[in-house]
Amino acid sequence: MDTFPRLLLDHAARRPDAPALREKAYGVWQTLSWSQLAGLVRELALGLSAAGLRRGEHVVVVGENRPRLYASMLAAQALGAVPVPLYQDAVAAEFVFPLNNAEIAFAIVEDQEQVDKLLELREQCPQLKCIWFDDPRGLRHYDEPGLASLDDLVSQGQAHAVERGGFFDAEVAAGAPGDVAALFFTSGTTGNPKGVIHTHATLIDRARAGQRFDHLTEREEVLAYLPPAWIGQNVFSFSQWLVCGYVVNCPESASTVSIDLKEVGPTYYFAPPRVFEGLLTTVMIRMEDASAPKRWLFDRCMALARRVGPRRMDGEALGVLDRLAYALGDLLIYGPLRNTLGFSRVRVAYTAGEAIGPDLFSFYRAIGINLKQLYGSTETAVFVCLQPDHEARADTVGVPIDGVQIKLSATGELLVRSPGLLKGYYKNDAATREALTEDGWYHTGDAGFLTPGGHLKIIDRAKDVGRLMGGPFDGAMFAPKYVENKLKFFPHIKEAVCFGDKREKVCAFINIDFEAVGNWAERRNLPYAGYTDLAQRPEVYQLMLECVEKVNADLAQDELLAGSQISRFLVLHKELDADDGELTRTRKVRRGAIADKYGVLIEALYAGKVSQYIETQVKFEDGRTSMVAADLRIVEARTFPAVRSAA
């Protein structure tokens, strides 16, 4: 079973009535069996073929996780065509480059919102001739050439089923492992995004390696709620789904994910750190509003969990009293808490994409959730390093798994060789030659090292690691992402951007977490009129100062990175946003764009000013723009002498 359509047909033959996909619609879970899915894929493939889709051509797919969008990807692959998933929350202008770069003539989208975006782009993308939509709401009176529903496409496929009886099976049989299976456009922190080419062989190989590592079976339950255009979600809910044959559950909407999570009770779970942070923030806010006896019991049980829970998860022997006390805590607090979070059945949970705070990581493992970290990227088909069950640590990302080789360049950059590496970048030979060596090593762009135990530790992006010039830490290493992640470990800080390369000191922008800080302010009877007003309150600045100085004290203990301590900072008057070009769709900081946009603030930080006025344009989801203005305070933070290691 070496292509995705063949994996689908194998499941349909062996387990025809087993559930393959579930979707929640109008509050009720609807199930699609493997045989039903195979039939739908067959009809869609015949319809796409009748519409003119040919082997090697591209089909864009835009929307939330929906069974018929998954089926459409499989239908395209069955014909030898290439699905190109794009981020559903992207503005229309962000679609122009991928559509033209991949010469896309066919699009399958979820709903009216995505249809409107593509219709808006028709003059810029004249080759886009066919658009099919899954959800017809709001589209009844649309009269556009080439626009039709997926129901129409299915009907067209059914009409061709008799006259082209063996066509589908012949097309699936013609597929090969080395055929291109998908084209993923990277988020592009600088310049245009790059199209990463993956074959059936690369994606299936890494999916099977992950399956073997965590002993995954068809009995797993997965909740698919992250963007399908992100390869992390795509691998967990598409590649591994077809390899393992487990059930993928699609939530009703983004607003119902937390409810759906509890109803599904996934056994295999994947999320970036910000999702785990958000879940914990919600729990802590609820506990702060609880009665005094409940808070006392929670604090006592959590103190025990922090001491005993991680050791228990690591398989260490516990004393009789600790085992009994933890069992009681599990009955009273940990079990109900796992159930509230929707993790009562989780067997394996992974986080990736960014570093996760040690306190956050320990919290989940302390209450009995097997949370682990993994390392990978779009170019490596995700699975490079994973943490074994009893070797999960907050400061590493695991060990190389089957088929992976790792080495460090002379500059400290991590190089990877794996069967899951990209075939290349689409229409970008120069970038391919830069990323892949002739002997098959991929330049990750990450700076890191292997610990004595064989675990990988990532410091930062290699291109972002710099040096301070002048001042008390002249020549010291500056690792901005490492410092930013330490700041984001605090629940009151949502985002941070640090500056310091070739400067005498480090300065930072900070975004508060509006929900967490808002709750903090309300409990202290601090009035505020909105994000900008709350962010500039003196009490909030004092809260941020305490966080910054805790990070500085921690950095001072690291002889290598002590120079990265933050000397001055300000709290931004608006949240950094992908729609404003400040973040990528996967919430990675666009450093160049931020430096250009907020140059006046950076100058004020380094000029010693105590405040700086700024006006900034913001863009709303409906395309409207507005101006946000504020006089931002700039605050000095204490730094600490570096702790020298003993000679």
The domain limits of the chain are: 4-271, 465-636
State the CB neighbour count (10 A cutoff) for residue 178.
13
Place 645 in a pLDDT band, splitting at 50, 70 and 90: low
% pLDDT > 70, the chain? 98
pLDDT at position 481: 87
State the Cα angle at 432 between 581 and 449, rounded to 5°.
Answer: 80
Q: What is the C-alpha to C-alpha distance for residues 446 and 434, in angstroms, rounded to an integer?
A: 14
pLDDT at position 450: 87
pLDDT at position 51: 95
Q: Which fold has domain 465-636?
A: GMP Synthetase; Chain A, domain 3 (3.30.300)
Does position 646 have pLDDT exceeding 50, yes or no?
no
Q: What is the C-alpha to C-alpha distance for residues 99 and 74, in angstroms, rounded to an integer?
A: 20
CB-CB contact of 71 with 42 (8 Å): no
Full DSSP string of 69-132 = HHHHHHHHHHTT-EEEEE-TTS-THHHHHHHHHTT--EEEESSHHHHHHHHHTTTT-TT--EEE
Determine which of 70-79, 315-324, 508-517, 613-622 has the lowest per-residue pLDDT on average: 613-622
pLDDT at position 112: 96
pLDDT at position 34: 98
DSSP tag of 228 = T
Give me the CATH code for the 4-271 domain, please.
Answer: 3.40.50.12780
Place 160 in a pLDDT band, splitting at 50, 70 and 90: confident
CB-CB contact of 202 with 239 (8 Å): no
Mean pLDDT of 48-67: 96
Cβ neighbours of residue 11 under 8 Å, at least 6 residues apart?
18, 20, 34, 38, 242, 245
pLDDT at position 647: 42
pLDDT at position 189: 55
What average pLDDT does the chain have? 92
Q: Are strands 28-33 and 385-386 parallel, antiparallel or unpaired?
A: unpaired
% pLDDT > 90, the chain? 75
State the Cα angle at 387 between 565 and 402, rounded to 5°.
Answer: 125
Q: How far is CA 2 from CA 178, 282, 391, 412, in A?
A: 9, 43, 32, 36
Structure tokens at 527: 């009035």
Mean pLDDT of 430-438: 95
Cβ neighbours of residue 181 under 8 Å, at least 6 residues apart?
3, 4, 77, 82, 198, 199, 200, 202, 203
Helix (H, G, I), strand (E, B) or coil at 319: coil
Does position 503 have pLDDT exceeding 80, yes or no?
yes
Mean pLDDT of 70-93: 96
Place 347 in a pLDDT band, splitting at 50, 70 and 90: very high
Q: What are phi and psi of 111, to 5 degrees?
A: -155, -170
Mean pLDDT of 626-642: 93
State the CB neighbour count (10 A cutoff) for residue 633.
17
Expressed in angstroms, the distance from the first to the final Cα of the chain is 58
Structure tokens at 191: 């310049």
Please tell me the pTM assigned to this model: 0.85
Report the length, in residues, of the chain: 647
* Nearest CA-CA partner of 501 in 531, 477, 527: 477
Determine which of 134-138, 160-164, 568-572 has the lowest per-residue pLDDT on average: 160-164
